[in-house]
Amino acid sequence: SSYKEDWYALEQLLAQDYPLQKVIIENSKTKGWGINYRVNKHSLCYIHPEKNGLYIAFQIQE
């Protein structure tokens, strides 16, 4: 599958359990662009494309 399809699949999976807000981050000096997925006021994860894959960072709170 393509990275785009993987991205959409992950987004749909997250949306099943969380009321997601998508914040598109454009013109990041280091990453170009990406999407910060938020639940209420809290960041859940951040995804941006890379040359050979996707960079995905989840925020885990104690």
> Whats the size of the chain, residue-wise?
62
Task: Report the C-alpha gap between 32 and 13 in whole angstroms.
Answer: 25
pTM confidence score: 0.77
Domain ranges of the chain: 3-58
* pLDDT tens, residue by residue, 5-53: 888 999 999 999 999 999 998 876 666 789 999 999 899 999 988 888 8
Q: In what order do the strands lie in the sheet with 42-50?
A: 20-28, 32-39, 42-50, 53-58
Would you list the DSSP string of 1-62? --HHHHHHHHHHHHHHHS-EEEEEEEEETTTEEEEEEEETTEEEEEEEEETTEEEEEE----
